[in-house]
Every structure is written in structure tokens, then in C-alpha cells.
Amino acid sequence: MLPRVINYLPPDITHDISHAIIRAGIAGVLRIGMDYPAEVFGIRFRNPLGLGAGIDKDGLLINGLARSGVGFVTIGSVTLKPRRGNPRPRIVKYPGLKAMVNAMGLPSRGFADFITRLGKVVDLASRFGVRVIVSLAGFSLEEFLVMLSRLRGFGIDAVEVNISSPTYRGSWLNDINRLGDLLRAIEGFDKPLFIKVPLGAGVDFYRWITEAAERYGYGLTIANTLPIKEPRISVGYGGLSGYPIYPLVRALIRKVRTWGFGGPIIGIGGVFHGWQVAELLKSGANLVGVVTAFAFEGPIVFTRLLREFYAYLSQ
Ligand SMILES: Cc1cc2nc3c(=O)[nH]c(=O)nc-3n(C[C@H](O)[C@H](O)[C@H](O)COP(=O)(O)O)c2cc1C
């Protein structure tokens, strides 16, 4: 297990240390001899818990992640061209609140590099029964289309379309026509698509995107981080993640279900305990993602969450 003291060191440094440990496969996990299968878009997940986008942006950590007991891993967000992301500091942790703000700025080695190891990522994941979701980030419709066309033929299980990172500064969210063009243009991709929605948007936006997802047969990933100001981050703003956003995420999932959305939902935001996994599933999610708890605890977090989740179910 990564020592807890790591959360009190400068976050940009601990981020790098954690990556090195996971990549080397040093962070071991305990095996749990139980499954709780979920079926999404006709695909069987051995359990509904998985890693959300942002931890393994380039598909470099699969060695450790495949062994972590999860039902799925989300790789990315990957961008078409290589990006350095924002200058450091770009992460601030609030350990007492189980929260953090990040403005990574969508750093990526770029799609051409990513695709060279995607086959290996899929092979390794499938050996351990882990489903692979690829998260794409694009700054234009064309960028998304190029990446989607090059993903064909790889044995990935789904694609998540990230239109909601604070890094976009609202460029997808403030122009419904442009976003509508994107959602229409990606229809017909040969694998299930999830649209990742933001936190903090207006009810009209959520209604609109829910209807669009229903119409095109897409799933929804609810939700990305909540954009806020943070002067300690180099660019002065970032996305809040972790425990404080959990009630917002749960409420949004419930709302979308009361509107009659029938497609799959990945619920993600502030999950730190097994009961939250159960609660999000009860609220209407089909799968549950985790990022900030992973950033605080490392891959062992999945063993703990699954244990707690199974214990909760058998109460
Ligand atoms: C350091 C960090 C990097 C992230 N990078 C991405 C990303 O590249 N693409 C994306 O769609 N979401 C990204 N996210 C958002 C997470 O996937 C997730 O939606 C959000 O953090 C809420 O879940 P959590 O509270 O479990 O972290 C990132 C979050 C964090 C903390």
C-alpha cells in the first residue's frame, strides 16, 4: 500500500512517485474470491467497480491495474496530438476533505504513441478479466473522428467521449450546436460510446444531453470534476474531485433516471467507501468509477472497496 504520508507531500511529486510504483507492479493487491457481475451494452463486467479516466492517461500502468481486482479500467483521456498539459503546480490535495483540485491540462503522449501499446493493454486486461474503456479528448470534431476511426479493430470494450474537462474552458459545453454536431457525427462507431458530462451545468443542458444520448444509444458517464478557482494551481482554476462532489453526482444520476434515461450510466465522483458503490448502483448507475480515492490510496483501494461492497450486500 502507498503510505498515507504521501498525501502530505507536494502532490505533483507524489503523482510521479505513485505512477512509478504502479508501473513497476510493486503495489500488490489481495485477491477477493467473489464476483458481482454487471452487464452493460451486452458486455459482462465481472464487477461494477473500475478506474475512471485521468490516472492512466497513456496506457502505461496496465501491468498494475489489470491485477487490481477491478471490473474495468478507463485509459486516457488521450488526445490526438501530444500535449504537455499545464505547468506545475497542477494538483492541490485536501487530504482532510478527501478531495483535490487538478488542472492537469489534458497531458498526453498523443494518440500515435498510445496506439502502439493499446494491443498489449487489451491483451493484459483480458487475461485478468478486466474490461477496457478508452477515454478520448478532442478540441475539434475532426480530432475525435480521426481517433475513433483508428480505434477500430482493437479489442477495446467501449469509448468514453470527454467533452467536459475544465481544460476545455467550456468550449464544448457552451456551444450546443457544435456539441450536437459531434454527437451526431460519432454515431455508428462500432463500440459502445459513453458521453462524459460535467458537474455544475444547468438543468437545460442536462436534459438536452440526456435526450441526445437516449436518441443515439449512448451511455452517460456522470460526472467529470466541478470547475472551481484555486489560486495555488498555476492556471488559477481546476476541477474539484473527491468526497465533496459525491452528493452532486448521486443527485444527477437520480435526476437523469427520473427523466427516463434508459441507457447505461457510469457513476463517478467521490466514491471512497463500499456503501457508496452500492448506493450509486441503487441510484441508477450500472458501473462505478473511482479516481481520487485511487490517487490517495493507490491500487489497494479496489480491494478495500470490493470487500466493503460485498460485505454491505450480504448484510
Ligand atoms: C488528477 C485527475 C486527472 C483527471 N483526468 C481526467 C481525464 O483525463 N479525462 C476525464 O474525462 N476525466 C478526468 N478526471 C476526472 C475523473 O475521471 C472523475 O470524473 C472525477 O475526478 C470524479 O471522480 P473522483 O471523485 O473519484 O475523482 C481527472 C481527475 C483527476 C483527479
pTM: 0.95
Q: Is 268 in the pocket of ligand 1 (CB under 6 A)?
A: yes
| pLDDT the model gives residue 34 | 74
3-state secondary structure of 268: strand
Rounded CA-CA distance 89/137 in Å is 22
C-alpha torsion angle, residues 126, 130, 3, 237 (rounded to 10): 110
- Of the listed ranges 2-6, 39-43, 217-221, 256-260, the least confidently predicted one is 2-6
Of ligand 1's atoms, which has the minimum distance to the CA of residue 268? 23
Q: Is 79 in the pocket of ligand 1 (CB under 6 A)?
A: no
Q: What is the mean pLDDT of residues 239-259?
A: 98
Q: Is 224 in the pocket of ligand 1 (CB under 6 A)?
A: yes
Q: Pick the residue whose CA is nearest to atom 31 on ligand 1.
A: 292
CB atoms within 10 A of CB 125: 23
3-state secondary structure of 299: coil
pLDDT tens for 206-215 read 999 999 999 9
Rounded CA-CA distance 24/2 in Å is 13
| pLDDT the model gives residue 20 | 66
Is the confidence at residue 23, as pLDDT, over 70? Answer: no
Kindly provide the b/e burial profile for residues 268-283, where b requires at least 16 CB atoms within 10 angstroms of the residue's own CB.
bbbbbbbbbbbbbbeb
| pLDDT the model gives residue 91 | 97
Q: Is 196 in the pocket of ligand 1 (CB under 6 A)?
A: yes
Rounded CA-CA distance 185/163 in Å is 14
CB atoms within 10 A of CB 8: 10
What CATH topology corresponds to 4-313? Answer: TIM Barrel (3.20.20)
Q: Is 200 in the pocket of ligand 1 (CB under 6 A)?
A: no
| Sign of the CA dihedral running 272, 274, 276, 277 | positive
pLDDT tens for 73-120 read 999 999 999 999 999 999 999 999 999 999 999 999 999 999 999 999
The pLDDT mean for the chain works out to: 93
Question: Residue 314 C-alpha to ligand 1 middle, in angstroms?
Answer: 30
Contact 54, 104 (CB under 8 A): yes
**Best residue for ligand 1 mutational test, from 241, 249, 265, 305 (most atoms within 8 Å of Cβ):** 241
Which set of grid coordinates corresponds to residue 184? 451526431
Q: Is 286 in the pocket of ligand 1 (CB under 6 A)?
A: no
- Residue ranges per structural domain of the chain: 4-313
pLDDT tens for 280-292 read 999 999 999 999 9
Alpha carbons within 13 angstroms on the beta-carbon side of residue 307 total 10
pLDDT tens for 111-162 read 999 999 999 999 999 999 999 999 999 999 999 999 999 999 999 999 999 9
Kindly provide the b/e burial profile for residues 95-108, where b requires at least 16 CB atoms within 10 angstroms of the residue's own CB.
eeebbbbbbbbbbb
**Best residue for ligand 1 mutational test, from 291, 296, 301, 305 (most atoms within 8 Å of Cβ):** 291
Contact 211, 262 (CB under 8 A): no
Radius of gyration of the CA atoms of the chain, in A: 18
3-state secondary structure of 126: helix
Of ligand 1's atoms, which has the minimum distance to the CA of residue 290? 26
Of ligand 1's atoms, which has the minimum distance to the CA of residue 137? 9
Model confidence at 21, pLDDT cuts 50, 70, 90, reads low
Which set of grid coordinates corresponds to residue 87? 505547468
Q: What is the mean pLDDT of residues 21-49?
A: 78
The full length of the chain comes to: 315
Q: Is 290 in the pocket of ligand 1 (CB under 6 A)?
A: yes
Q: Pick the residue whose CA is nearest to atom 2 on ligand 1.
A: 54
